[in-house]
A and B are shown apart, each in its own frame.
Chain A
């Protein structure tokens, strides 16, 4: 399996504080990998490095074998905060990337692409709505659709559901798992929810406290297609217990330090 997203001994500090202390792992083509770690350990920082918003002090991030040197339309990003454009309607938000010079499509192609992701994300009937009229869950669905619509080589998602209530969150996880099964796009998802990480991923990368390194990479042997029932399978529960133990030991070491 070719590595689509790679981190090679990535180090980065802010003002003398080491945040990432030699992080290394890879995400294979078509793979969905979650990065799990305690708050403040540098998950967003890691994603920003892969997205090209930050340069590491040493080591490097690669996408499709090329070193990341800056933002690029071949990498779709979904942010932790709501980042859809409030002045554009849902459909214009989703089609935005396809109107830029870097990735321009004909009007028909754009329309077809927007329609496809409106449908996948269950946004029918809201094409002409402005973001201010949408719930938080719908805004993040628009953000997902916008990221998918440009057909990037890889998708980088930074806790896209963190701000949502539990029910909406589960619904969006199911929507996303369905989408990944039809789209099969290489994805790195940042989260601090063990449940979310397992439900969506092939593998879970567990980060430790600062200065941060990879503690463990855990395979998720829960078969696809995943459905709400997957959450109750013994494999799921076993991985969950293991990851929860890992996270707990991580939080106690941070409490002591």
Chain B
């Protein structure tokens, strides 16, 4: 196929078709699963969401969760980007900190929640620290690995033209790595959502995590489903926005990772 898929209507209709199929499947399951193990239908879930927004201030939960993710990722990445570049560029530092980074990255952020509760309590500060922590370690690894993967040929081309160390870094390594910074933020976003919900399940009064936990406690299945779908949608929307920003800002790339 010579025509790129992105220019054809298929680019819009195929994903839509996928969603429709999933909803139909869900609906079929809801017809079969009744009684104690009842699965609410898509319509019932939608209704629960509408009622949630109009009567139970579900919007507040949504806003809180989205805001927590955004702040956590912003703090985590704001630190991860410079740290990642510095670690990658100064080999001794990298060798020194690599084991630590591997350790903390391998540690699931959720495992830190009890510890955070002990030291920081269950306030906003506690949740944001866990989120920033999760975002930082997810992003920093992507950044420094991408710097290490800068094609040597560009560095040599720069050196052959007389570029100094700083010039190599600022004029070659950084621009080459910009797309990877977006990738790092995407990874951080994904991890932050996962961590957020876990954090809210245990330590929050409001938020989507709390919302689904409450729904489960009182066996309000449609609310439970609505909350889950909302979490998924929010994560997808953030990811798509980021991809769109990446597309316009790094047009030089041959293909943009999707």
When C-beta atoms are compared, the residue in chain B nearest to A96 turns out to be: B161
| A45-87 near B? 1/0 per residue, CB < 8 Å | 0000001010000000000000000011101110101011111
Q: Does B252 contact A (CB under 8 A)?
A: yes
A149's closest neighbor in chain B, by CB? B161
Residue contact B156 to A100, C-beta cutoff 8 Å: no
Contact, CB under 8 Å: B160 / A51? yes
Provide the residues of chain B in CB contact with A99, threshold 8 Å. 171
Please determine whether A100 and B162 come into contact, CB atoms closer than 8 angstroms.
Answer: yes
In this complex, what residue of B is CB-closest to A150? B161
Is the beta-carbon distance between A86 and B162 smaller than 8 angstroms? no
Q: Mark B176-195, 1 if CB is under 8 A from A, else 0.
A: 10100000000000000000
Max chain A Cβ within 10 angstroms of own Cβ: one of B171, B178, B251 = B171
Across the interface, do A130 and B252 meet the contact criterion of CB distance under 8 Å?
yes
Q: Is A132 an interface residue (CB 8 A)?
A: yes
Q: Are A100 and B252 in contact (CB under 8 A)?
A: no
Q: Give the complex CA separation of A96 and B167 in angstroms.
A: 11
* Given A87-B252, A100-B167: A73 touches B156 (CB 8 Å cut-off): no
Give per-residue flags for B227-257: 1 if the beta carbon is below 8 A from chain A beta carbons, else 0.
Answer: 0000000000000000000000011111000
Q: Across the interface, which residues of A come within 8 angstroms of B250, CB to CB?
A: 87
The reply to whether the CB of B163 lies closer than 8 angstroms to some CB of chain A is yes
Complexed CA–CA distance, A99 and B178 (Å):
21
Q: Is A249 an interface residue (CB 8 A)?
A: no
Tell whether, in the assembled complex, residue B161 and residue A103 are in contact, meaning their CB atoms are under 8 Å apart: yes
B164 interface residue (CB < 8 Å to A): yes
Closest to B168 in A: A100
Instruction: State whether A87 touches B175 (Cβ < 8 A).
Output: yes
B174, closest chain A residue (CB): A87
Residue count of chain B within 8 Å CB distance of chain A:
21
How long is the Cα–Cα vector from A130 to B253 in the complex, in angstroms?
A: 9
A132 touches B253 (CB 8 A): yes
Which residues in B have their C-beta under 8 angstroms from that of A256? none
**Majority-rule SS of B interface residues:** helix
Instruction: Give complex CA distance A102, B163 in Å.
Output: 7
In the complex, what distance in Å separates the CA atom of A103 from the CA atom of B158? 12
- Taking CB atoms, residues of chain B closer than 8 Å to A131 are 252
- Residue from A87, A101, A130 whose CB has the most chain B CB atoms within 10 Å: A87
What is the chain A residue whose CB lies nearest that of B172?
Answer: A85
Within 8 A of A (CB), among B55-110: none
B161 near A79 with CB under 8 A, answer: no
- B43 at interface, CB cutoff 8 A: no
Is B154 an interface residue, CB under 8 A from the partner?
Answer: yes
Tell me which residues across on chain B come within 8 A of A85, comparing CB atoms: 154, 157, 172, 175-176
A160 within 8 A of B: no
The reply to whether the CB of A97 lies closer than 8 angstroms to some CB of chain B is: yes
- B248, chain A: closest CB distance, angstroms: 14
A192 nearest CB across to chain B (Å):
20
Assess A77 versus B157: contact at CB under 8 Å? Given A86-B252, A103-B162. yes
Give 9 closest A-B pairs by Cβ, nearest first.
A73-B162, A102-B162, A97-B161, A77-B160, A71-B159, A87-B252, A83-B157, A87-B175, A83-B153
Chain B residues at the A interface, C-beta cutoff of 8 Å: 153-154, 156-157, 159-164, 167, 171-172, 175-176, 178, 250-254
- Listed in ascending order, the chain A residues whose CB lies under 8 Å from chain B are 51, 53, 71-73, 75-77, 79, 81, 83-88, 96-97, 99-103, 130-132, 146, 150
Could you list some 19 contacts between A and B, CB below 8 A? A71-B159, A73-B160, A75-B160, A77-B156, A79-B156, A83-B156, A84-B157, A85-B154, A86-B254, A87-B178, A96-B161, A96-B171, A97-B161, A97-B162, A100-B163, A100-B164, A102-B162, A130-B251, A132-B254
